[in-house]
Structure formats: C-alpha cells, structure tokens
Structure 1
C-alpha cells in the first residue's frame, strides 16, 4: 500500500466579516475582568483583616486590643467596659480604629497606687504605648491585606501572576487609607465626643463646659489623658468622680413634646439632679388632647427640683395653661405667653404660646400665617424689653417657624414640635435650637414599629454674659431606655482659634 504523505494542519482562520462567538464560551470583556479583580482584592483584604484580628497591647496599667475595621465613616471607637464607649470623629477614611479596654492589670495598677509619683509620667508612658501599638497594628494589617488578597486571587484564578497582581493592588488599600487618615485627621474631635453607656457617669467623663473651652490645649493631648482618667475610674469604680458644677456657669435643661408620657418626669428629675440644673424650659406639647382630665398629669412638676418655664404647644389647651399657671399649686412654674418675660434662675426668658389648638388646624397655609403673627408678637415684645433696659436672654415658642421671627432680637431661641433636633444660626445671628420629644413621642409611640428616642439637651451659659458656651445632647433609646448617649457640642465662637462674632444683642 502506498504511503500517504503527512500534511501539516493549517491554522484556522476566521473568514473576513465573521465575528468572534459570544455567549458563555466567549472571553470576558476587559472591564468585567477588572471588576472581578477589584472584587477579589476587596474581599480578600477584608478576609485578611478578619483573620489577623486585633493587636493586644498594654497601655499604661491596662490591657487593650486595637483593631482596624472597614468603615464608610471612619472615626475611632473606644470601648471601656463596663462604663460604655466613647466615639470620636477623628478621621474620615474607609477604616475605623476600635480600641477595646480588656482589663486593668492588677499588678501594674497596684504599683501605681503604692507609688503615686508614677502618675506624673503616666501620660508619656501611655502615649508611647499607643504609638507602639498603632505601628504594630498598621504593619500587621498591611501584611494581612496583601496576604488575604493574594491567597484569594490564587484560589480564584489559579495563576501565580494574577494572584501576585491582586496582592500588589491590595497594597494600595492601606496606602490610600493612610493618606485619607492623614488628610482628614481631626485632633479637635475630642471636643465633641459621643459617650454611650452609663448615663450617670457621662458628665464625669465628658467634663465641664468651661474647662473644655479654657483648657483646650490640655484636651489636645488625648487619648493619653483619656486613658489616664479611665484608669482612675477603674481604680475607684464604686465611687465615680462627682460632677462639680462650675459656679460661673448656668445650666438650662431644654425639654419638649412630652405628650403625656409619665416616664418623662423621672428622666427630667434625674437630669436636674445629675447636672445641677438651674432652669428647666419646656417648649410645649406637654399634653396630648388638652382635656381637663389630663391636668393631673402635670402635678409632678412641683417635685422636679428646679424652676419650670413653660409655653403652650398645639396639643396644650387654654385649660392646660390655666391649670399650670396656678402659682399656689405650682410655685416653681412660670407660664409664658404673648411675649411675657420673666427673670428665673439668673436668666431673662420670654415666650409665646402656640396660637392654634390641634383640633382647630384647617390647613398648612393658615397655620404658617398664624405662627408668623405669633412670632412677630414675640419679636415686638423683645424689642420693647431691650429699649427698656431689660434685654431677654432666651426666647421660647413651640413652633420653630414662630420663633424664627425673633432672629436678630435675642441670642438664643428655643422651640420643639417637630420631634427631632435642629440647630442653626439664623441670618441675624440668633441661634435656633429645636428639641426633639422628651416623651419619646408620648404613649402613642408604642403603636409604632419602633419607638421614638427620648431627647433632651443641657445648655451651658456664662453666668455673667448669659452667652452660650456649650451644650450636651442627651439621647435615650426610646421607651425601653436600652441605651444612653451624651454628646458634647461647642459653638464655633467658643473654639480657642475662632474669631469672636461681631453680633451683639441688647
């Protein structure tokens, strides 16, 4: 048989005009490959961070665990069990620093008790410990991110070059995060902490309003001082430091929209005692229907331990106002209406009651017009008070739209009604502070899927100038009171590097 010669196979060539096949067997497009690589890098980096966990490091006499976590908001969270947690807006980057105080080392703490002279150098020691722990955490996190992305890349692609590429891209994540932290680092974040946990301990940890303003340079040296203070708290857990009010500071408790919730009286009484409140200002809607049957709900006001200034809300009737204005029944209550001003607790306060009672509302346009008229009545009374040489320090109305009419006539205006907080400086220089519901929306809140939070604020004013120095926003977790949070805020003018405002009242 004749041997057939071997012919080499020609390479296949697609005829001109024919496209490559599409469907499940087609090669992925470049942007899909890139998207897949990004997903592998991010997921692998996250797994790496979870795997490495935290860095256990001693900080002074305490054992702590530092952890970096992916986050949309950034910031720093310090958990101090059992006192609660402290959150700082220290930076805005895709990572958050969590610091858990695990325990107080008995040997090191007893050494401090036996040798109190060592407390003088404790802050330097704490600073060095925090810096060393942060460096170790950053290094381990970088290694974990790269290792996690590389390992996941190898598992997905099964090609060493692609896996190494994923690891290289992952290295950019900690680098970019570091740049973000550096660019947005806010050393002043300790001025406005959010403390969650034991409400009774919050004022002791947050500190006094005047000391935060005057000792700003001291607070710049956090978190070393914070850790030192926590150490002292642990050392005297049963006798936490007592909050000693500054005699040059007036304290005003602003409440609103109690809506017939009896739990509010206990909360207000506790805050009066804890913060040594000089004046309570209630911006209305204490009742729900304003009927005479509800009047007995107001009787606990006499036992709150501080003067009580009140304006009528749209759920409070004329009957409600008449009952509360009885000075024999309520010797500590001052009812304000039609721009009336009173001197109470070292402050001069004027207010106007809501001109509408809930069943009488007929439409938003009429409501806005009536509120504007009430606000102009209050503003005219403020001008008259100033001309007579007795300028008003605080104006109060239930509706924010009404009290806006006092812009430029008074330094501080308070309102409620909307059941959430608002805080703004109006065009004329008046600061408008709207409080949420101190009654958590009232007893009707139990009908909602999620109860409203209980809100109140403590305002700190200079006793000589009646100028607002700072305020604490107090938030309780609804009717269940499952959590407590206190956040400190300062006006821009009170910051040490601020230019004093040229606006003057009175």
Structure 2
C-alpha cells in the first residue's frame, strides 16, 4: 500500500507538470498560427485570467503560472470554491497564490470557510473582496461579495437561492453607491451566478463560477455575465463518474482606457490523467468584423 501511494504521488506530480507544459506549448502554437482577421491585443491591453472552482487540485497552480507567463496576465481573478471542505487543515493549499506571478483577487465560494478567507487575506499579493467592498488592482476597480452559504457545514440549513439573491442585491447596492460617489466599479464578482445576476445594469462585466461549466451571456440591463468552469477539473470528485471533468480557464482582454471587454480566450485542458488542450478566441458582437462600430487596429 505504501508503494502504491508513493507511485500515485509521483505520477500525479509528473501529470501536473506535463499539463502545465502542454498549455504552454499550445498557447505558443495558437499565437504563432492564428491568422484570424479579428482582435489583436497590443502591449497596452489589460489581461485578466479568470479561474474558479479549483477544489484542492494542485495541478491548477501549475496551469495558472503557465498562463500568467504566456499571456503576460496583469491580474488573476478567482471566483471561489478554491477549497473543498473549508477546514483549517486545507489552508496550506493557498500558499502558492503568492508566487503565481500576478496579483490574485478572490471571492469566497460555498466550499470556502471564514477560516479560508482569513488565511488567504494574509497571503502576499492576495486581495479578498466581500460585502460589496472594492479593490483597485492593475488599473481595475473590482467589487465582490462572498457566497452567503457554506455547504460543508451540516449544522445549518441551506438558505437556498433566496440567500444568493439577497447577497447579489447587497453587492449591486454597494456598486451603485460607489458609482454615485464617482468611483464606478469595472468588474463585479460573486461565486454563484444567481447572486451575480443581481448586478445587471450596475457594471459592464460580472464574473462568477459554481456550476463547473462555462457560459457567457449579456443580461437585459447590458451587463455581460461570464461564468467560468472548474479550473481544478472539479477536483478529485471528478473521477466519481468515470470521465474526468475538463479543466477550464479564460483570459479576458480589456481596453486600458475604457476598461471594457474586447475579446477573450477560452482554455480547455484534459481533466485528471488526460493530455489534451484547446484554445479558442471569442469576440463580443460589437467587436466582430463588420460590426458597427468597427474596432480600431492597434
């Protein structure tokens, strides 16, 4: 049994290093071969790496470091569920955030405890947003609210969607107050999309996670809601169904002057034990070739 355990640890270490190397290679290939007559980011473009739902998968940190280097990322945004049970014993898993190569902005998920939040707030380079508070990082003003529910706590009844709606409304109210005070927020963060939807009309961009699959949509009030998949491939629970979940992350390109989304790249990697990678670029409708107004050439 000891021999098998050592073999698993060794094999997993090789896997996570190789997956990081794979994402490096595929992003280099993508940049070298892309001839699409579409958005081409210039050196002044702000690059945001959106990750979510790491769920204690250590391979995620290797992938994030690789993406930060390849894309010259200005800020990492993590929309929560970095942990699985939120215990103090898990806190050491957060130590690598200080060495990822870019500022790290985080909002609490329903698998992250108050202990998780306090520990991360003390890490160098980490910025925790909660209760509608805002931070200014890499030229962006980012506000967020932690998830009002803590799933692993079986002693308290789950408050359900009502709690998420309430949290989202508090975040939206805080953002409106900041805008009235002359300090508008560029990006709103919440873990659950239900909460994030409440910010519609108050910000140009809202980021979220929770559901372990990626989705982007423009809400009725004009806010673009971007939901990220699981950057940890749903953690070890991914093997329960026999087919590992895809590892997902996105790089968002924002104009430095307007701080509006210009394009985004979606990165999809093989889950536990799988070696595959895909990168695809997407443009908002107003930035697609032939759209009005046509984007200027950098």
Q: Normalising by structure 1, what TM-score? A: 0.51
- 1:345 CA drift (Å): 0.9
Per-residue Cα deviation, 1:321-379 (whole angstroms, up to 9, x for no partner): 000011xxx2210000001111101111000000010035635xx31100001000100
Please tell me whether residue 497 in structure 1 is matched to residue 290 in structure 2. Answer: yes
Per-residue Cα deviation, 1:100-130 (whole angstroms, up to 9, x for no partner): xxxxxxxxxxxxxxxxxxxxxxxxxxxxxxx
1:144-223 equivalences in 2 (<5 Å): 198-205=25-32, 207=34, 212-213=38-39
Counterpart of 1:362 in structure 2 is: 157
Per-residue Cα deviation, 1:66-105 (whole angstroms, up to 9, x for no partner): xxxxxxxxxxxxxxxxxxxxxxxxxxxxxxxxxxxxxxxx
| C-alpha distance in structure 2 between counterparts of 1:499 and 1:303, whole Å | 42
The answer to whether the 8 A contact 2:129-2:145 is kept is yes
- 1:206 CA drift (Å): 5.8
Q: Structure 2 vs 1, CA of residues 377 and 277 (structure 1 numbering), >3 Å: closer, same or farther?
A: same
Q: Structure 2 vs 1, CA of residues 202 and 374 (structure 1 numbering), >3 Å: closer, same or farther?
A: farther
Equivalent position SS for 1:280 = strand
> 1 or 2 for the larger relative contact order (CA 8 Å, sep ≥6)?
2
Q: Which runs of 5+ in 2 are unaligned?
A: 1-22
Please tell me whether residue 446 in structure 1 is matched to residue 239 in structure 2. Answer: yes
Per-residue Cα deviation, 1:12-63 (whole angstroms, up to 9, x for no partner): xxxxxxxxxxxxxxxxxxxxxxxxxxxxxxxxxxxxxxxxxxxxxxxxxxxx
Structure number with larger C-alpha Rg: 1
Counterpart of 1:105 in structure 2 is: none
| C-alpha distance in structure 2 between counterparts of 1:473 and 1:270, whole Å | 15
The answer to whether the 8 A contact 2:73-2:102 is kept is yes
Counterpart of 2:74 in structure 1 is: 278
The answer to whether the 8 A contact 1:336-1:350 is kept is yes
| C-alpha distance in structure 1 between counterparts of 2:286 and 2:71, whole Å | 24
Equivalent position SS for 1:297 = helix
Per-residue Cα deviation, 1:169-215 (whole angstroms, up to 9, x for no partner): xxxxxxxxxxxxxxxxxxxxxxxxxxx99424244136599x7237x
Equivalent position SS for 1:334 = strand
Q: Which runs of 5+ in 1 are unaligned?
A: 1-195, 215-244, 502-506
Counterpart of 1:412 in structure 2 is: 205
1:456-467 equivalences in 2 (<5 Å): 456-467=249-260
Q: Structure 2 vs 1, CA of residues 249 and 288 (structure 1 numbering), >3 Å: closer, same or farther?
A: same
- 1:473 CA drift (Å): 0.4
Counterpart of 1:255 in structure 2 is: 51
Which has a greater percent of helix?
A: 1
Per-residue Cα deviation, 1:380-416 (whole angstroms, up to 9, x for no partner): 1110111111111100000000010000000000000
The answer to whether the 8 A contact 1:258-1:437 is kept is yes
Moved more, 352-361 or 411-420: 352-361
Query: 4+ runs of 1 displaced by more than 4 Å?
Result: 206-209
Aligned residues: 270
Alignment match of 2:170 (pick from 341, 359, 377): 377
Per-residue Cα deviation, 1:133-157 (whole angstroms, up to 9, x for no partner): xxxxxxxxxxxxxxxxxxxxxxxxx
Equivalent position SS for 2:231 = coil
| C-alpha distance in structure 2 between counterparts of 1:343 and 1:395, whole Å | 12
The answer to whether the 8 A contact 2:201-2:223 is kept is yes
Alignment match of 2:131 (pick from 323, 338, 348): 338
| C-alpha distance in structure 1 between counterparts of 2:148 and 2:139, whole Å | 28
The answer to whether the 8 A contact 1:455-1:475 is kept is yes
